[in-house]
Amino acid sequence: MKHQEYHIKKNDMVQVIAGKDKGKSGKVMRVIPKKDRAIVEKINMVKRHMKPNQQTRQGGILDKESPIHISNLMIICSKCTDPTRVGHKVIDDKKVRYCKKCEEVID
């Protein structure tokens, strides 16, 4: 199976463009390529009933981020501070992502 490249990577700032959290933005904590999903901090929160264990000394009902589909996310450009489409181009034999609005390289 071939590895697919996404317009979103870990630590990118993204904005949700569809769903219950539309308009909210956050930082990507993890990308799950097999399911085409990403976990974004403080987005798509769900309640989880947890038993006490080593990580969570206190059990109970906890809020946790749930994965959101990558197609519902757009990168926020650091220069023009807007959600933008992402293009790919080769600069000095290296493939880079760039903002389609202001042509600024993202990374």
Query: Does residue 38 fall inside a structural domain?
Result: yes
Q: What are phi and psi of 70, to 5 degrees?
A: -65, -30
3: pLDDT confidence band, cut at 50, 70 and 90?
low
Number of domains in the chain: 1
Domain that holds residue 73: 13-53+61-77
The model carries a pTM of 0.87
Q: Is 72 helix (H, G, I), strand (E, B) or coil?
A: helix
Query: Does residue 66 fall inside a structural domain?
Result: yes
Query: Does residue 82 fall inside a structural domain?
Result: no
CATH of the domain at 26: 2.30.30.30
What are the tens digits of pLDDT across the range 16-40?
999 999 999 999 999 999 999 999 9
